[in-house]
Amino acid sequence: MALLQISEPGQSLDPHQRRVAVGIDLGTTHSLVAAVRHGISECLPAADGRVILPSVVRYLDPAQGGSGRQIGFDALAAQVQDPANTVSSVKRLMGRSRAQVADVDKLSYTVVEQDGMAVVETVAGRKTPMEVSAEILATLRFRAEDSFDDELYGAVITVPAYFDDAQRQATKDAAQLAGINVLRLINEPTAAAIAYGLDNGSEGVYAIYDLGGGTFDISILRLTKGVFEVMATGGDSALGGDDYDQALAAWVLAQAGVSAMPNASERAALHAEARRVKEALSSSASAAFRANVSGHAIEHTVTSADFETCTAALTARTMTAVRKVLRDAGITKDEVKGVVMVGGSTRMPVVRRTVGEFFGQEPLTNLNPDEVVALGAAIQANALAGNSRDGDLLLLDVIPLSLGIETMGGLVERIVPRNSAIPTALAQDFTTYQDGQTALALHVVQGERDLVADCRSLARFELRGIPPMVAGAARIRVTFTVDADGLLSVSAKEQGSGVEARVDVKPAYGLSDEQIAAMLQDSFATAEQDIRARALVEARVDADRMITATRTALAADADLLAPAEREQIDGLMTALAATAAGDDAQAIEAATAELAKATEPFAALRMNRGIQQALSGKKLEEV
């Protein structure tokens, strides 16, 4: 007789068998993999003992006997001598077209457009950002499997909080190419909150200031008894330590009077030297910058004050995002209990000082800023794999932009508001606009504006097979489901007949962070204008619906009206059509109300006729 095998909720069937699950921080400049071992989250080292893996891949020339590629420190060492085939900061290309990559012409390698996506030209052929990222992810996967001498069950991979659907999907595609089962994508600031919240038993409102090599995130979280609720999030994934390096290099060239454009190899060398000087200035008051550009030997002493001056605009950009996120969360800086510093770029003294002065308190830096994101992701992975008995961990992430559908007149009906906690499923009922309508076209959009033309189109699909009914009789429920990774599916179901259609939204790669920021800024700057525009469209839609309904009624029962009554209604319809062509919403609403009032007696007469026809020829007892 076989025994029924049972387990505790969330636990593996065999309590002695542990699934290998890891957290991966796929960073712009470097990446890490971490796991929970002996109850402690720790980063896994490579054979040489280093836990950091530079996010750099070099492709070798097959024609010269080269096979494959170099990854990590080996590729980083070759960046100056072979910049065209050494791909770094590929995270900035994820989910974008070439036109939407910031400073694309300043990269040491060539980026071209292919199928609406930015791809890299190398001696080994064109490589998509997903393929390059997959090389990095696979290296981390092999490191984890070597550490545990077992196959990897799955991974939690972190992404910037401001990554949109396209960028998140690109990350999942890269993991799939690397042979990794993605347990969940979580936002980098959320991962940091998990690490700090569990390690320090912190509660209250916290700001997560995450400045990495290529991305900046700022999130406001409320931590309460193991619940991590993201109140608001923002940032700029085209801003990071790389930009500080470029600003410093440009400043040194200007000080040295060098106007010649550096070639690719020189740009790579300048970037590397700028990074070295930047890191040196974190512990010294000055450092010497040495480089060669177009035959000019450059040697310039850079002080901390110089560095702060030439990068002041970048630091100010991060603080602008901080202020905006505080407004979105509906709190003041005085309500923030602590500020968690995440990302290697937060080691810069000017950044720590600026953040500390703004919040009026010393930022939290007791966990390694390079490792904290991976450590938090590992804790979440351990729980999702069923290894952890800590059932108190609840993770509430948010979506960065509102989701909705297009309604009549090109208006947006928002179904999932921005900063809604995910995963979530929200629904709303709609109806048909015309009599006998048997199909409905649904247009899914993302953004904060009231008009579809001002938002981003995500997907279109159709619901067919709706039984013919009079306008407004059908009840169509549209459901938006956002999963834990922030990915969207939309379904539409006619409640009476049960016909249903759905679409999984896999957006085309290409929405830039500048566009996201602009969409949010526009929503505030044009709020009053949007209210007026929406009111005008709604008034016109109501007017059109009133005219259509009146014409339908006249076509069926005009004989019920006296000539004077018919003339009055025709005149009001003509006047309403003329008024609806204008831009005065109140005038249109008034004309619509006037026609509605004038047709009330006609509607009563039609109702009486309908009742008489229904009762004609029937006995009282039958009724």
What is the C-alpha separation between 605 and 550, in angstroms, rounded?
A: 14
Give Cα separations from 98 to 72, 94, 111, 486, 545 (angstroms): 25, 10, 7, 24, 45
Close Cβ partners of 316 (under 8 Å, ≥ 6 residues apart):
none
Please report which residue ranges of 158-311 form alpha helices under DSSP H.
Answer: 165-177, 188-200, 241-256, 264-280, 304-310
Q: Mark 203-226 as b/e (b = at least 16 C-beta within 10 Å).
A: eebbbbbbbbbbbbbbbbbbbeeb
Sign for the CA dihedral angle at 353, 359, 361, 367 comes to negative
Instruction: Give me the active site residues, please.
Output: 25, 91, 188, 210
> For the chain, what percentages of helix, strand and coil (3-state, to nearest 5) are there?
40, 25, 30
Is 121 buried (19+), middle (13-18) or exposed (0-12) by CB count in 10 A? middle
Could you tell me the end-to-end alpha-carbon distance of the chain, in angstroms, rounded to an integer? 66
Give dist(CA 272, CA 264) in Å, integer.
12
Find out whether 317 and 324 touch, Cβ atoms under 8 Å: no
Cα(530)–Cα(524) distance, integer angstroms: 10
**533 three-class SS:** helix
Contact 69, 88 (CB under 8 A): no
Alpha carbon distance 142, 149 (integer Å): 10
Rounded to 5°, the CA angle 40-370-348 comes to: 140
**Nearest in space to 35 (alpha carbons), one of 152, 185, 137, 192:** 152
Tell me the sheet residues that pair with 107: none
Which structure tokens are listed for 538? 């709604």
- Report the Cα 584 to chain-centroid distance in Å: 37
Cis-peptide, bond into residue 262, ω within 30° of zero = no
Confirm if 301 and 287 have CB atoms less than 8 A apart. Answer: yes
Rounded distance, CA 580 to CA 546, Å?
A: 11
Residue 129 CA to residue 95 CA, distance in Å, equals 8
* Helix or strand run (H / E) with residue 207: strand 204-211
**Distance of alpha carbon 472 from the chain centroid:** 35
Q: Which amino acid belongs to residue 324? A: K
Task: Please give the single-letter amino acid code of residue 65.
Answer: G
Spatial contact of 398 and 16, defined as CB atoms under 8 Å apart: no
CB 291 within 8 A of CB 253: no
Query: Which residues, 6 or more positions from 266, have their beta carbon under 8 angstroms from its beta carbon?
Result: 291, 292, 293, 294
Cα torsion 80, 85, 91, 95 to 10°: value is 150
Query: How many CB atoms neighbour CB 330 within 10 A?
Result: 10
* CA–CA separation, 447 and 460 (whole Å): 16
What string of DSSP letters covers 377-434?
Answer: HHHHHHHHTT----TT-EEEEE-SS-EEEEETTTEEEEEE-TT-EESEEEEEEE--SS
